[in-house]
Copies of this chain bind each other. A is one copy, B any other.
């Protein structure tokens, strides 16, 4: 079950309103055309709003139509109704666009736009790009939906992307995202054989699983949220194999805990790695109280470099290519590190993000 919201918008040369046509004249034309699809409508309420006007209509089936006039000739129409799972749409996208085109023609409007019906209900289908554009995914099932002490964890099924991990309502990784893990680890460009590796985060298990294919000496993965691993172990085996089930093998170990605490321990013990991966969520979660997000990110970087061998590498995901400001800020943090570091970037189109994503490879500057 879901509520369907069908949204249209139009604009009219502002001088025509009041002069040639009243708002009520326009509503009358809208009403007549809507009635071709919905049968008789009645106006249940109308009101003036600042320089605007809003009119609410209804049919006999609980569909509510809101026609609103804004400044500068902008008019929006919302058509909203309850749709049970097997009900058909009360107006198809094709009909919505027909309606739009007839209205534009009949009223000689400047623009018309119609959106495919938005489905509002427990099966969440909309996620944002890095620059906050809306993307509708072909999600048809919610497989897992729990809240851990750290975050909200969902696994949903997408027809084209397979199972998808959603953390705090943001798309994290999907079964179709091998390219994400391969670009993060620079598959084919880095040699992991015999290397010692530390993963900060990485709860979906995909990075650990891919790294183990390359014969490393040892990989330790520090993940705070056991429930993420439980969920991925159940629903994401095509990307994580059995590493989240076994948790420990000859050359790897998953430690459930705050990576900051463990890194501090490694620093104290003088433990060093060939590679450290920053595979944490975009918005950091930690037991350790921290200040601003950028302070936290810089702390991660500082501590990671404190446990890296002189020729070691720190590898991490950045942000969407659509967010150059955010990428610049990250690079500003890199420039603040002492000893100095240098970095390279790589880009990949990540299927479940529906956009290009930037990945960083960072080494000490004197390397």
Chain A interface residues toward B at CB < 8 A: 1-3, 5, 7, 9, 11, 44-45, 47, 49-50, 52, 54, 56, 58, 61-62, 64, 66, 68, 70-72, 74, 76, 78, 80, 82, 93, 97, 110-111, 113-118, 120-122, 124-126, 128-129, 131-138, 145, 159-160, 169, 321-322, 349, 354-356
Contact = CB atoms under 8 A, between A and B. Distances in A.
Say whether chain A's binding surface is mostly helix, strand, loop, or mixed: strand
3 cross-chain pairs, A with B, having the tightest CB-CB distances, nearest first? A133-B136, A9-B120, A50-B62
Given A78-B78, A128-B116, A68 B133 contact: no
Given A132-B93, A321-B160, A74 B121 contact: yes
Nearest to A45: B45
A118 B115 contact: yes
Contact of A74 (B1, B70, B135, B160): B1
B78 A74 contact: no
Contacts of A97: 169
Contact of A134 (B64, B78, B134, B355): B134
Nearest to A133: B136
A114 B74 CA distance: 24
Contacts of A160: 321-322, 355-356
A128 to B, nearest CB: 5
Given A7-B5, A9-B121, A74-B1, A126 B138 contact: no
Contacts of A82: 52, 70-71, 74
Given A50-B62, A321-B160, A322-B159, A122 B11 contact: yes
B111 A124 contact: yes
Given A68-B80, A74-B82, A322-B160, A52 B62 contact: yes
Contacts of A138: 131, 133, 322
Given A49-B62, A74-B82, A82-B74, A134 B110 contact: no
Contact of A115 (B56, B114, B126): B126
Nearest to A9: B120
B137 A136 contact: no
Nearest to A97: B169
B132 A135 contact: no
B356 A354 contact: no
Given A9-B121, A45-B56, A113-B169, 14 more contacts: A3-B70, A3-B74, A5-B7, A5-B78, A50-B61, A52-B62, A64-B68, A93-B132, A113-B120, A125-B133, A131-B138, A133-B137, A134-B135, A138-B322
A34 B113 CA distance: 29
Nearest to A114: B169
18 contacts: A5-B76, A7-B118, A44-B47, A45-B45, A45-B56, A49-B64, A56-B56, A66-B66, A76-B120, A78-B78, A110-B122, A111-B124, A113-B169, A116-B128, A129-B136, A133-B138, A135-B354, A160-B322
